Chains A and B, each alone.
Chain A
Amino acid sequence: MSVALDLGRRRRSLRRRRRLALIAVALAMLGLAVALALYALSGSIVFFHTPSEIAEGLVAPGGRVRIGGLVKEGSVTRSGDHIVFAITDTAKDVQVSYDGVVPDLFREGQGVVAEGVLRADHLLAADNVLAKHDERYMPREAVEALKRQGLWRGEGAPVSR
């Protein structure tokens, strides 16, 4: 009787181990397949391209594109609702022209993503400008204190990256 019980228990634990192994293998295969698919698609999953990628000719002119980077210091000129500025990744710049209202966060040194048509002369005729903020959160007083000490490394800091 106890031998039969023991046998049954062992068979059940064997079945469980087999099920666990099956699930582990299936999940590993699925994970690998998804990873490969995402890797293959990574060019179209990115939300924006950098000015360096534009300079390398990664995006054909004439098509719609999103370009992201920082608003170059001293590049912003406004005339009414029309605004012209440069997006920089500190290596290369792209000139952007835009008609419309920019987000509140928009200013020189701020991260932005501009969406529009890239012209042959590498000027982006944007129809949408989004602000991108970084992952730092800080009270104003703390930022002022850091800036006074010259330790500020966030957005709007003298570019050294």
Chain B
Amino acid sequence: MPSLTSLANPSRFMALSARALPWIAAVTALLFALGLWVAFTAPEDYQQGETVRIMYLHVPSAWLSLLIYTVMSVSAIGALVWRHPLAEVSMKAAAPIGCVFTFLCLVTGALWGKPMWGAWWVWDARLTSVLVLLLIYLGILAIWNAIEDQAHAARMAALATLVGFVNIPIVKFSVEWWNTLHQGASVFTLEGSKIAPEILLPLLMMACAFTCLYVALHLAAMRNEILRRRLRRLAILAASETPAPARVSSLEGGARA
């Protein structure tokens, strides 16, 4: 059994993720095929008719937007407290993926809201807090892109991520704490799921497919980030190994010109 510390070694991570990625990708494709099949053959909802099928995209996107932020926050603690390079890489790789799923959640929600509620958008607590989540994701992406020094960027992004985590319980419980147009929780409630099994099954299958897709994307993005860092280090090394006289003469040339 590999321990967590040995997995956290970037070289071990590269080797293991290279072996795992094709399998995860295959499982993702299979789950999407099955999930879409049951999603389109599931019965219509008694109130919403065919429109209920938007839920099979909307709800998994919404869950992922929260899950990815939580993963990012755990990584941020790893980066701040243990200063682990892999935690930094995980944090940086997760941000754009979470941002996209939050955007998907908002777009599918608007497309669902127009026919059902009669409005693309309302400023109720749930919708507004999810919009704030998207803005937080965008802010974190901006930090990563604005600060040149990666170690400094990682520290600022980690702090921003942890501050933004306050919003996660607000998104989750907004429909319980305040009156909202958005309906309350359906799947995870104290009385159990309020969704009929014929409609719940495709939803859970799509949620599994989405989650597998996220894991595959996150691993691939982490690998890319590690490779990018190695490249940068090699470039710096190569630059420092250029023959000294040549560098001096070019500098002098620049100074004279």
B177 CB, min distance to chain A CBs, angstroms: 7
Contact assessment for A16 and B45 in the assembled complex, using a CB-CB cutoff below 8 Å: no
In the assembled complex, which residues on chain A have CB atoms less than 8 Å from the CB atom of B43?
A: 139-141
Whether A133 is near chain B, meaning CB under 8 Å from some CB there, is yes
Interface-located stretch among A1-9, A45-53, A54-62, A77-85: A45-53
A58 CB, min distance to chain B CBs, angstroms: 13
Contact assessment for A137 and B163 in the assembled complex, using a CB-CB cutoff below 8 Å: no
In the assembled complex, which residues on chain B have CB atoms less than 8 Å from the CB atom of A47?
A: 122-125, 178-181
B244 CB, min distance to chain A CBs, angstroms: 35
Q: Bin chain A's interface residue count.
A: 35 or more
- Choice from A23, A34, A113, A138 contacting B199 with Cβ under 8 Å: A138
Whether B186 is near chain A, meaning CB under 8 Å from some CB there, is yes
Whether B57 is near chain A, meaning CB under 8 Å from some CB there, is no
The B interface is mostly helix, strand or loop, or mixed, namely loop
Contact assessment for A45 and B125 in the assembled complex, using a CB-CB cutoff below 8 Å: yes
Whether B204 is near chain A, meaning CB under 8 Å from some CB there, is no
The A interface is mostly helix, strand or loop, or mixed, namely mixed
Task: Please report which residues of chain A, range 83-129, place their CB below 8 angstroms from some CB of chain B when the two chains form the complex.
Answer: 102-105, 113, 128-129
Whether A64 is near chain B, meaning CB under 8 Å from some CB there, is no
In the assembled complex, which residues on chain B have CB atoms less than 8 Å from the CB atom of A139?
A: 43-46, 196, 198-199
Interface string of B20-42 (1 = CB under 8 A from A): 00000000000000000000000
A133–B180 Cα distance when bound, in Å, is 11
- Choice from A30, A103, A138 contacting B117 with Cβ under 8 Å: A103
In the assembled complex, which residues on chain A have CB atoms less than 8 Å from the CB atom of B45?
A: 137-140
Whether A38 is near chain B, meaning CB under 8 Å from some CB there, is yes
Given A42-B177, A45-B178, A137 and B118 touching (CB < 8 A)? no
Task: Please report which residues of chain B, range 184-231, place their CB below 8 angstroms from some CB of chain A when the two chains form the complex.
Answer: 184-186, 189, 194-196, 198-200
Contact assessment for A132 and B117 in the assembled complex, using a CB-CB cutoff below 8 Å: yes
In the assembled complex, which residues on chain A have CB atoms less than 8 Å from the CB atom of B82?
A: 16
A72–B189 Cα distance when bound, in Å, is 28
Among the interface residues B47, B55, B124, B194, which one has the most CB atoms of the partner chain A within 10 A?
Answer: B47
Whether B143 is near chain A, meaning CB under 8 Å from some CB there, is no
Contact assessment for B77 and A130 in the assembled complex, using a CB-CB cutoff below 8 Å: no
Whether A158 is near chain B, meaning CB under 8 Å from some CB there, is no
Whether A19 is near chain B, meaning CB under 8 Å from some CB there, is yes
Contact assessment for B122 and A140 in the assembled complex, using a CB-CB cutoff below 8 Å: no
- Choice from A50, A128, A133 contacting B47 with Cβ under 8 Å: A133
Given A23-B80, A140-B44, A135 and B185 touching (CB < 8 A)? yes
Contact assessment for B52 and A137 in the assembled complex, using a CB-CB cutoff below 8 Å: yes
In the assembled complex, which residues on chain A have CB atoms less than 8 Å from the CB atom of B199?
A: 137-139
A-B pairs with beta carbons under 8 Å apart, 7 shown: A42-B177, A47-B179, A131-B118, A132-B117, A133-B47, A139-B44, A140-B46
